[in-house]
């Protein structure tokens, strides 16, 4: 078989793709633009793509194409209806990043809750050296124990975050964006109640009609003083313009690993928030621990094996 990897760079240069060579000729491209896609896949039997879009027209112009492996869980970059009509199998990989996303959720939370940015600067600017005390507690910080943690989207990742939050002594409640995950393990709240009562709020929901701009100027005003808002779901769930304005007018904190446009636009108002210690932005890496990417590759290999066995 001829296998084409379209955006190997998104999997990391530290991850060897040699395991894919067992299936045939492997051609790997670091990145692939929209203009480059048709030529690169025209002779492919298997396409491996993370974010490169595969359209019906692409499939029609790739007569040997039998399998599209998505190196992710989300499948919105492939025309699934066209694939079905053309008898092309599409497979994704689910569950590979759960532990990585949970870990990143708590990394961001601890950074903000413990005022790490502030204290790091206190040391590096020599403010602590000149203070004359063995310690510096000029910026008060808190413990998770006794806090109320609100989760928006109680799917697989949300449930794991809930478990860890409880081990730290937090009280967990949640809001179901679909209205379907109404389980009894945790207290279900309306969105307004969750936002107004939670000390820490983490988002682990998909982007859809129900979640687009779910967090906006209307309900951001409900957030408690010193509360922390974390988005590890999808960009677009939190209105970024509204969040920037709220950060400039309220004493709240935000941690974002996903943004509406990625990479972030240089003119994004979140990059110009008055107090940079109030916001932490990471470049969509919550999913990407080495172990998670290894599991992702193993999932792709398994998907190809299962396809061949079928």
Active site residues: 234, 262, 284
What does the alpha-carbon distance between residue 261 and residue 162 come to, in Å, rounded to a whole number? 28
Q: How far is CA 302 from CA 23, 66, 97, 305, 307, in A?
A: 11, 16, 16, 5, 8
The answer to whether 49 and 4 have CB atoms below 8 angstroms apart is: no
Which residues are paired to 201 by β-bridges? 150, 229
Q: Encoding tokens for residue 74?
A: 């989300």
If DSSP codes are grouped into helix, strand and coil, which group holds residue 54?
Answer: strand
Q: CB-side exposure of 296: number of CA atoms within 13 Å?
A: 28
Q: From 199, 205, 143, select the one nearest 176 (Cα to Cα).
A: 205
The CATH H-level (homologous superfamily) assignment of domain 98-281 is NAD(P)-binding Rossmann-like Domain (3.40.50.720)
pLDDT at 242 (0 to 100)? 98
* Omega cis (within 30) before 53: no
pTM of the model: 0.94
pLDDT at 248 (0 to 100)? 98
The class of domain 2-94+290-309 in CATH terms is alpha beta
- 2-94+290-309 and 98-281: same fold? yes
Q: CB-side exposure of 9: number of CA atoms within 13 Å?
A: 6
What does the alpha-carbon distance between residue 200 and residue 254 come to, in Å, rounded to a whole number? 10
Inter-helix orientation angle 116-124/98-113, to 10°: 60
The answer to whether 247 and 254 have CB atoms below 8 angstroms apart is: yes
What does the alpha-carbon distance between residue 202 and residue 213 come to, in Å, rounded to a whole number? 15
Label residue 84 exposed, middle or buried (CB < 10 Å: 0-12, 13-18, 19+): exposed
Residue spans of the domains in the chain: they are 2-94+290-309, 98-281
pLDDT at 178 (0 to 100)? 84
One digit per residue, the tens of pLDDT, for the chain of length 310 reads: 999 999 999 999 999 999 999 999 999 999 999 999 999 999 999 999 999 999 999 999 999 999 999 999 999 999 999 999 999 999 999 999 999 999 999 999 999 999 999 999 999 999 999 999 999 999 999 999 999 999 999 999 999 999 999 999 999 999 999 877 676 689 999 999 999 999 999 999 999 999 999 999 999 999 999 999 999 999 999 999 999 999 999 999 999 999 999 999 999 999 999 999 999 999 999 999 999 999 999 999 999 999 999 8
Q: Encoding tokens for residue 176?
A: 């179901």
Q: What is the dihedral of CA 187, 188, 189, 190, to 10 degrees?
A: 180
pLDDT at 184 (0 to 100)? 67
pLDDT at 185 (0 to 100)? 81
Q: How far is CA 39 from CA 42, 56, 90, 126, in A?
A: 5, 15, 20, 57
């Amino acid at each position: 078989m001829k296998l084409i990897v379209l955006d190997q760079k998104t999997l990391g240069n530290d991850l060897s793709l040699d395991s894919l060579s067992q299936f045939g000729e492997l051609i790997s491209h670091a990145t692939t633009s929209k203009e480059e896609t048709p030529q690169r896949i025209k002779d492919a039997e298997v396409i491996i793509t993370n974010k490169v879009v595969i359209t019906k027209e692409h499939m029609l112009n790739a007569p040997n194409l039998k399998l599209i492996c998505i190196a992710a869980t989300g499948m919105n970059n492939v025309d699934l209806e066209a694939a079905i009509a053309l008898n092309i199998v599409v497979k994704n990989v689910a569950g590979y990043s759960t532990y990585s996303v949970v870990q990143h959720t708590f990394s961001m939370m601890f950074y903000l809750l413990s005022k790490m940015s502030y204290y790091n600067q206190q040391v590096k600017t020599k403010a602590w050296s000149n203070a004359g005390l063995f310690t510096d507690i000029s910026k008060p910080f808190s413990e998770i124990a006794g806090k109320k943690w609100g989760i928006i989207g109680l799917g697989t990742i949300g449930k794991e975050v809930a478990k860890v939050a409880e081990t730290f002594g937090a009280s967990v409640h949640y809001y179901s964006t679909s209205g379907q995950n109404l389980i009894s393990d945790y207290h279900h709240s309306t969105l307004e109640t969750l936002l107004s009562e939670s000390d820490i709020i983490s988002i682990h929901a998909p982007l859809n009609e129900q979640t687009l701009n779910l967090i906006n100027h209307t309900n951001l005003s409900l957030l408690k003083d010193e509360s922390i808002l974390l988005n590890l779901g999808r960009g677009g769930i939190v209105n970024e313009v509204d969040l920037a304005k709220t950060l400039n007018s309220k004493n709240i904190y935000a941690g974002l690993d996903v943004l509406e446009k990625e990479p972030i636009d240089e003119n994004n108002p979140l990059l110009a928030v008055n107090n940079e210690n109030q916001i932490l932005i990471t470049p969509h890496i919550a999913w990407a621990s080495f172990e998670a990417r290894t599991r992702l590759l193993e999932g792709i290999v398994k998907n190809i094996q299962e396809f061949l066995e079928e």
